[in-house]
A and B are shown apart, each in its own frame.
Chain A
Amino acid sequence: MANVTNKYPGESRWKGWWYLLPTLLVYLLFTFLPILETIRTSFYQWDGFSQNKVWIGLSNYAELFSDPKFHNALRNNLVFVIFYSIIPILIGLFLASLLSRRPIPGFAFFRTALFLPQVISMVVVGVIWRWMFNPTFGPINSVLRLVGLKQLAISWLGDFTWALPSVGSIGTWVQYGFCMVLFLAGMQHIQDESYEAASLDGAGAFKQFIHITVPGLRAEIAVALVTTIIAALRVFDLVYTTTRGGPGESTMVTGFLIYRAAFTTNRIGYAAAIATVLTLVILIISMLIRHFQQRGNEENT
C-alpha cells in the first residue's frame, strides 16, 4: 500500500500495464505478428508449404505495379467506394433526417428494419442477391417483365456493363442502414435551438440540413467514411459468392486477387505483396480522413 500513496496524482502507475498485458499479448500474437509476417513473406517467392522459400527482394512489388490485372482490380475497388461509401452515406443522411425531425409512428420498427441488412452475414447476402438477380426466376426481372419493361430484364450479374454496379448496389444495401443509425445517434446531440433559430431566420428544411445537420454530424460522417471505405477496399466475400470476378475481369477486386494468388496458384509471396499494398492504401486513406476531420474540428472551435 505504502508505495502507491507516495505518488502524485497523474503520475504514471506502472501497475496499470499489468491489466493491459493479456489483451496486449493477444494483440501482438494474433494481429501484429501476422502483419509483420505478411510483410516479410512479400519479399519471398514461396508456395506456402514447401521448404523452397527464396528471397527475391522487391520483385513481387515490381511485378505487382506492372500487372494490368492489379490496376483493373484497384480501379474496381474505387468504384466500390462509390457504392459502399458515398451512396450509403447520402442515403443514410436522408433517412436519418426524415426519421429524426419529428416523431414518426413505428420509428423503432423502421430503424430496425432498415438496419437489418448490416447484421446478415455477407455470404448469405451474396446468395440472396444472386437469386434476386437471376435472369430466369429472380424477382427483379420477374417484376420488370410484369410491368412491361421486358427489355430492362437483363442478365445483371453476367453483363459486362452492369455486373459491377449490380454487385456494388448490394454493398449499398448492406451499408446504408449502418450509416443511418450512426447519423441518428449523432443528431441527438445537435441542439433543437439551432433549428429553431434557423427557422426564425427563414431557412428552409434543405438549408437547415446543409448548414446545421451536416456540420453537426462531422464526426459521425468521418467514422462512416472510414469504416465503409475500408469495407469497399477489402471486399472479397461478396464478389466470391456472386460473380467470382467475372464476367471476364469486370468485377475483379484486389481481395479476390489475393485469394487467387494464395490458394489457386500457390504464390503466397505475391499474395502477401498485394495484401501489404492494400493495407497501406487503407491506412493512408484512413489517416487522410482523420486529418481532415480534425482540421475541421479546429476550424469550428
Chain B
Amino acid sequence: MKKRSIFMSVILALMILLSACAKPASPTDQPPADNGEQVLLVWDQFYRDEESKVIETLNAEFETAHPGVKIQREVKVLEDLKATVKLALTKADGPDVAQVNQGRNDMGALVEAGLLLPLNSYLDKYSWGTVFSTSVASRNSFTEDGKTFGSGNLYGVSPTAEVVGVFYNKDIFKKNNWDVPTTFEDFETLLADIKAAEITPISFGSLDGWNAIHEYSAIQHLLVSLDYINNLTYGVNNVSFDTPENRQAAQILQDWTNAGYFSEGFPGIGYDDSNNLFKAGNGAMTITGSWLAPELMVDTDQEFGFFLLPPYEGKTGLAIGGVGIPFAIRKTSEKQDLAAEYLNWMISPRAAELWAEAGMLPAMALPEDSKVDTKNLFGDILNAWNTINQGNAVGHYIDWATPTFYDTLVAELQKLLGGISTPANLAEAVEVDYGAYLQSKSE
C-alpha cells in the first residue's frame, strides 16, 4: 500500500503543478455573446501621468458613445511594448489595436509578416485625408511586402506630432538681452556670446546615445533638401550618406564641441540628467524634441520658449519632425470595424484638444473653438509645427533608414564627439552601413 500511496501523491503533485500552469478563467477572456458586449483590447505606450490621463478620458468617452463596448487597456513602456507586441499580434487573443513604432524593424517587419491590417478603406470611409496630409500618411505607410517605407498601404494613424528644435531659457535670454536668432549665422554668434558670458550655451548629454542623432541631424536638416532626406529615409533613388552636406553637418557639430558649446563633461551625462539641469536653469538652450515641453511647463520657476533652428544661408531650413507612434489594427482581429472607429476617435478634434491641454503637440488641427492657452511654451511649439507644415519642411528621423542605422549612428557620433574620429570618418562609416542596406534591398 505504501508504494501505491507514494505513486498517488506524485500524481497529485503533478496535477497541482499542471493546474497551476493552466490559464485561469477570466470574465474578459470570452465576452458573452448574448448581451452583445464587445471587448476591444488596446495596447498603448502613453504611460506618463499626463499622457495616460488623456487616453483614459478618450477611452471613457468612447465607451459612453458605444454602449456595450468595453475597452481593455494595457499600458507599456515603449521598449517593453516593442519587445512584446510583435509576438502578441500573431495570437488570436492578441490586442485588437496596438501602437506600433514606425521604421523597418517594427512596422516594416510586421507588415512583411502580414500581421497588420491595411487601413486604406477606412482612410476613404472616415476622410482621413482631411485630417492628415499625404506626407504624414507616408510616414505610416509600407508597401505590402514590408520592404519599402513611405509608400504603399497605410498601416497606422498617429495621434501626436513631434518637432525637434531649440528650447531656450527666457529668463537667461532676457537678463542678457539676447534675442531669438533668425539666421544660422546669428545662431552661431549667439552661441559664442553665451559662452563668453560663462553660461553653458547648449545643455546636452550623449551618454544614452540616441539624442546625439537629433543633435547631428538637426544641423544636417538645415543643409540638405527635402528630396534628399526623403530618399535617404525611405531608401529610394540610391542616394549616398557620404555627401558634402552630411560631412559639413558633422564638421559643425565637431566645431561646437571644440568651442565648448555643450555642457561640460557631456559624454558622461544622460539625456534625462541633462534635461533636469536645463530645467533647473543650467544652460541657456537645449536641442531636442517637442515631447519635452509638458515637463518644462510644471514644477519650475524658470520660463522656457521654443524656436526652430534658424535656416542656413539661403536654404529652406528643414526640421526633424513627424508624427508620434501610430495606432494599428491586428489583421486577424474580428472587430476590425470597431477598431477603426476607435482609431478615428483617437485622431478626432476632441483628442487634439485633450493632447494640447496636456502640452503635447497633436498631429491633428485644433478645433476652431479651442480653449487651449497658446501664449506659452506650447504656443511656441504649435507655431513651429505649423511653420514647417506650411513650408513643406518636415524632415525625418534618419535612424529609420536602415535596420542597423540607429546603432551605427550612435557609435559613430560618439566617436566624433569624443574627438577620436573626423567628419570624413563618420560619413564614410555610416555610408558603409547605408550602402550595404541598399545592396541587400535590391537583391
A residues neighboring B (CB under 8 Å) = 1, 15, 18, 21-22, 25, 47-52, 130, 133-137, 141, 153-160, 243-249, 260, 263-266
9 tightest A-B CB contacts, nearest first: A158-B267, A135-B265, A50-B113, A155-B268, A158-B268, A155-B265, A247-B414, A49-B86, A135-B268
Instruction: Enumerate B259-278 residues with CB–CB distance to A below 8 Å.
Output: 263-270, 273, 277
**20 more CB-based (< 8 A) A-B contacts, given A18-B7, A158-B266:** A1-B2, A22-B10, A48-B86, A49-B115, A50-B90, A50-B112, A52-B112, A133-B268, A135-B264, A136-B265, A154-B265, A155-B268, A157-B207, A158-B269, A243-B207, A245-B411, A247-B415, A248-B412, A264-B406, A264-B407
Residues of chain B lying within 8 A (CB to CB) of residue A48: 86-87
Interface of chain A: mostly helix, strand, loop or mixed: loop
Docked CA distance A158–B417 (Å): 10
- Whether B414 pairs with A246 at a CB distance below 8 angstroms is yes
Docked CA distance A159–B266 (Å): 10
B residues neighboring A (CB under 8 Å) = 2-3, 6-7, 10, 13-14, 17, 82-83, 86-87, 89-90, 105, 109, 112-115, 206-209, 263-270, 273, 277, 282, 403-404, 406-407, 410-412, 414-415, 417-418, 420
Nearest-neighbour CB distance to chain B for A117, whole angstroms, equals: 22
Nearest-neighbour CB distance to chain B for A156, whole angstroms, equals: 6
- Contacts A/B (CB < 8 Å), 25 sampled: A47-B113, A49-B86, A49-B87, A49-B89, A49-B115, A52-B112, A134-B268, A135-B264, A135-B268, A135-B269, A136-B263, A137-B277, A155-B266, A158-B206, A158-B207, A158-B269, A158-B414, A159-B267, A159-B418, A246-B209, A246-B411, A249-B411, A263-B82, A265-B403, A266-B109
Q: Given A22-B13, A155-B267, A260-B407, A266–B418 Cβ distance below 8 Å?
A: no
Chain A residue, CB-CB nearest to B7: A18
Residues of chain A lying within 8 A (CB to CB) of residue B115: 49-50
- Whether A50 pairs with B109 at a CB distance below 8 angstroms is yes
Docked CA distance A264–B410 (Å): 14
Docked CA distance A260–B113 (Å): 20
- Whether B83 pairs with A263 at a CB distance below 8 angstroms is yes
Residues of chain B lying within 8 A (CB to CB) of residue A247: 206, 267, 414-415, 417-418
Chain B residue, CB-CB nearest to A247: B414
- Whether B411 pairs with A22 at a CB distance below 8 angstroms is no
Residues of chain B lying within 8 A (CB to CB) of residue A246: 206-207, 209, 410-411, 414
Q: Given A48-B86, A49-B86, A263-B83, A248–B415 Cβ distance below 8 Å?
A: yes
- Whether A49 pairs with B113 at a CB distance below 8 angstroms is yes
- Whether A157 pairs with B113 at a CB distance below 8 angstroms is no
Docked CA distance A136–B277 (Å): 9
Docked CA distance A248–B129 (Å): 43
Nearest-neighbour CB distance to chain B for A56, whole angstroms, equals: 15
Nearest-neighbour CB distance to chain B for A281, whole angstroms, equals: 23
Chain B residue, CB-CB nearest to A51: B113
Q: Given A51-B113, A248-B411, A249-B411, A266–B403 Cβ distance below 8 Å?
A: yes
Chain A residue, CB-CB nearest to B9: A18
Docked CA distance A197–B191 (Å): 74
Docked CA distance A249–B10 (Å): 52
- Whether A134 pairs with B411 at a CB distance below 8 angstroms is no
Residues of chain A lying within 8 A (CB to CB) of residue B90: 49-50
Q: Given A52-B113, A134-B273, A136-B264, A244–B2 Cβ distance below 8 Å?
A: no
- Whether B268 pairs with A159 at a CB distance below 8 angstroms is yes
Q: Given A48-B86, A134-B268, A244-B209, A18–B10 Cβ distance below 8 Å?
A: yes
Chain A residue, CB-CB nearest to B112: A50
Nearest-neighbour CB distance to chain B for A218, whole angstroms, equals: 41
Nearest-neighbour CB distance to chain A for B21, whole angstroms, equals: 10
Docked CA distance A263–B263 (Å): 32
Docked CA distance A253–B89 (Å): 31
Q: Which of A158, A160, A264 has the most CB of B within 10 A?
A: A158
Residues of chain A lying within 8 A (CB to CB) of residue B14: 21-22, 25
Of B3, B113, B417, the residue contacting A15 (CB under 8 A) is B3
Residues of chain A lying within 8 A (CB to CB) of residue B415: 160, 247-248
Chain B residue, CB-CB nearest to A242: B207
Nearest-neighbour CB distance to chain B for A87, whole angstroms, equals: 22
Docked CA distance A47–B282 (Å): 44
Nearest-neighbour CB distance to chain A for B437, whole angstroms, equals: 12
Chain B residue, CB-CB nearest to A29: B21
Nearest-neighbour CB distance to chain A for B6, whole angstroms, equals: 6
Docked CA distance A153–B105 (Å): 40
Docked CA distance A268–B269 (Å): 32
Q: Which of B3, B13, B267, B407 has the most CB of A within 10 A?
A: B267
Chain B residue, CB-CB nearest to A160: B418
Docked CA distance A267–B158 (Å): 27
Nearest-neighbour CB distance to chain B for A194, whole angstroms, equals: 49
Docked CA distance A15–B265 (Å): 66
Residues of chain B lying within 8 A (CB to CB) of residue A157: 207, 267-268
Residues of chain A lying within 8 A (CB to CB) of residue B82: 263
- Whether B407 pairs with A134 at a CB distance below 8 angstroms is no
Docked CA distance A239–B83 (Å): 19
Residues of chain A lying within 8 A (CB to CB) of residue B6: 15, 18
Docked CA distance A133–B420 (Å): 22
Docked CA distance A155–B87 (Å): 40
Chain A residue, CB-CB nearest to B274: A136
Residues of chain B lying within 8 A (CB to CB) of residue A156: 268
Residues of chain A lying within 8 A (CB to CB) of residue B17: 22, 25
Q: Which of B7, B13, B268 has the most CB of A within 10 A?
A: B268
Residues of chain B lying within 8 A (CB to CB) of residue A1: 2
Residues of chain A lying within 8 A (CB to CB) of residue B87: 48-49
Docked CA distance A49–B208 (Å): 28
- Whether A158 pairs with B418 at a CB distance below 8 angstroms is yes
Chain B residue, CB-CB nearest to A21: B10
